[in-house]
Amino acid sequence: MPYLTLSDTTTRIFYKDWGLPSGPVVTFSHGWPLSSDNFDAQLHFLASAGYRVIAHDRRGHGRSDQPWTGNDMDTYADDLHELFVALDLRDAVMVGHSTGGGEVARFVGRHGTARVRGAVLISAVTPLMVRTEANPEGTEMAVFDGFRAAMKKDRAQFFLDVPSGPFFGFNRPGAVTSRGMVESWFAQGMQASFVGAYECIKQFSETDFSEDLKKMEFPVLLLHGDDDQVVPIEAAAKKAVKLLPRGLLRVYPGAPHALPNVFADEVNRDLLGFIGSLKTA
- 257 among known catalytic residues: yes
Q: 29, 57, 257, 270: which one is catalytic?
A: 257
261-271: b or e for each residue (b if 16 or more CB lie within 10 Å)? bbbbeebbebb
Q: Is the Cα dihedral 212, 76, 51, 269 positive or negative?
A: negative
CB 35 within 8 A of CB 13: no
- 81 among known catalytic residues: no
Q: 64, 98, 193, 205: which one is catalytic?
A: 98
Closest alpha carbon to 96 in 74, 65, 118, 66: 118
Integer-rounded Cα Rg, in Å, for the chain is 17
Closest alpha carbon to 151 in 190, 185, 203: 190
Q: At what angle do helices 179-191 and 141-164 cross, to 10 degrees?
A: 130
Strands laid side by side in the 247-252 sheet: 3-5, 12-19, 52-56, 25-29, 92-97, 116-122, 220-225, 247-252
Count of Cβ atoms closer than 10 Å to residue 240 Cβ:
27
Peptide bond into 33 cis (omega under 30): yes
- 61 among known catalytic residues: no
Indicate which residues carry an active-site annotation: 98, 228, 257
